[in-house]
C-alpha cells in the first residue's frame, strides 16, 4: 500500500500537476488510509510491547518468589532441626530418669523413690540444654559462651559435635561468618560420622557465600553430595549448586 501511494505521487508530480480534483481526492484518500494503517500498526506494537513488559515483570516476580521460598525453606529446616534436637534431648532425659527409677524399684530396700538422683552421665546433657535453650531464645552471645564452656568441660561426650554445630549457627546469626566456618569445620574434620556433619558442610557453604567466596561454597556443597549422597542435605546441596 505504501509503495503504491509513493508511485502514484511521483507520477502526479511528473505529470506537471495536471491532476484533476478527482485525482487530488484519491491522493488525499490514499494518504489518509496510509496514516490510519500507520496509527493502527503503532497501537498494535504498543500493545505487544506492554504485554512483553508485563510478562517480563511476572517472570521476575516468579524468580524472586522462588528464591525467597528456597531461603525460607532452608531457614525452616534449621528451625525444625533445632526443635527435633530439643525433643530428642527430652526423650533421652526421660529415658534416663525412667531407667533410674526402674532400677530403684528393683531394689526397694536400698533406695527410696523420692531420693533418686539423676544418673551422673546426664550432667553434660543438662549443661548442653542450658546452652541450647539460650540459642533458641536468640541470646546468641550467651549461647556462644555456654557452648564454648560445654566443649571445654565435656570434650569426650557425644554432644560435642552438636555443640560445635550450634556454636557455628550462633556465629552465623550474629554475622561473624569466619568464626562460623571455623566451628562448622570442627564438626566436619573431627566428627565426619556425626549426624551434624552434612548440615555443618551445608551451613559452611552459606557462610562462604556471605563472604563472597563462591568457589569455596561450591566445594563445600559438592562435598555434601560426595560424602553424604543419601542425606537430605545432599538434596539441598544439589539444589543450591544449580543456583550457583
Angle at 208 (CA atoms; ends 202, 213), nearest 5 degrees: 135
Q: In whole angstroms, give the CA distance from residue 38 to residue 19.
A: 26
The helix/strand/coil state of 174 is coil
Whether residue 69 is predicted with pLDDT greater than 70 in this model: the reply is no
Higher pLDDT, 50 or 191: 191
Per-residue pLDDT tens for 41-66?
Answer: 677 767 766 777 777 677 767 776 76
Whether residue 10 is predicted with pLDDT greater than 70 in this model: the reply is no
Q: In whole angstroms, give the CA distance from residue 99 to residue 93.
A: 10
Highest mean pLDDT among 38-47, 96-105, 220-229: 220-229
Distances (CA, A) of 8 to 3, 38, 49, 53, 74: 9, 18, 34, 40, 71
What pLDDT is stored for residue 52 in this prediction?
73
What pLDDT is stored for residue 21 in this prediction?
64
Tell me the pTM: 0.56
What pLDDT is stored for residue 191 in this prediction?
96
Least confident of 43-57, 76-90, 192-206: 76-90
> Are the beta carbons of 221 and 199 closer than 8 angstroms?
no
The distance from CA 1 to its chain's CA centroid, rounded to whole angstroms, is 58
Higher pLDDT, 179 or 100: 179
**Mean pLDDT score, 209-228:** 96
pLDDT category of residue 86 using cuts at 50, 70 and 90: low
Q: In whole angstroms, give the CA distance from residue 221 to residue 240.
A: 8
Amino acid at each position: 500500500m505504501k509503495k503504491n501511494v509513493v508511485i502514484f505521487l511521483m507520477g502526479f508530480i511528473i505529470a506537471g500537476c495536471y491532476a484533476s480534483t478527482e485525482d487530488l481526492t484519491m491522493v488525499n484518500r490514499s494518504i489518509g488510509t496510509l496514516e490510519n494503517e500507520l496509527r493502527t500498526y503503532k497501537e498494535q506494537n504498543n500493545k505487544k510491547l506492554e504485554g512483553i513488559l508485563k510478562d517480563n515483570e511476572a517472570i521476575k516476580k516468579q524468580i524472586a518468589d522462588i528464591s525467597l521460598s528456597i531461603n525460607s525453606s532452608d531457614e525452616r529446616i534449621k528451625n525444625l532441626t533445632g526443635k527435633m534436637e530439643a525433643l530428642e534431648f527430652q526423650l533421652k532425659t526421660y529415658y534416663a530418669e525412667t531407667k533410674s527409677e526402674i532400677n530403684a524399684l528393683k531394689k526397694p530396700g536400698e533406695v527410696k523413690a523420692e531420693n533418686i538422683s539423676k544418673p551422673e552421665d546426664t550432667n553434660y546433657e543438662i549443661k548442653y540444654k542450658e546452652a541450647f535453650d539460650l540459642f533458641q531464645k536468640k541470646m546468641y552471645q550467651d549461647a556462644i559462651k555456654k557452648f564454648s564452656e560445654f566443649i571445654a568441660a565435656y570434650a569426650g561426650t557425644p554432644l560435642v559435635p552438636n555443640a560445635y554445630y550450634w556454636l557455628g549457627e550462633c556465629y552465623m546469626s550474629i554475622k561473624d561468618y569466619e568464626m562460623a566456618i571455623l566451628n562448622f569445620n570442627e564438626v566436619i574434620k573431627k566428627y565426619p560420622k556425626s549426624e551434624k556433619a552434612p548440615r555443618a558442610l551445608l551451613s559452611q557453604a552459606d557462610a562462604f557465600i556471605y563472604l563472597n567466596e563462591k568457589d569455596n561454597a561450591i566445594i563445600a556443597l559438592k562435598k555434601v553430595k560426595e560424602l553424604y549422597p543419601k542425606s537430605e542435605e545432599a538434596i539441598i546441596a544439589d539444589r543450591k549448586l544449580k543456583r550457583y
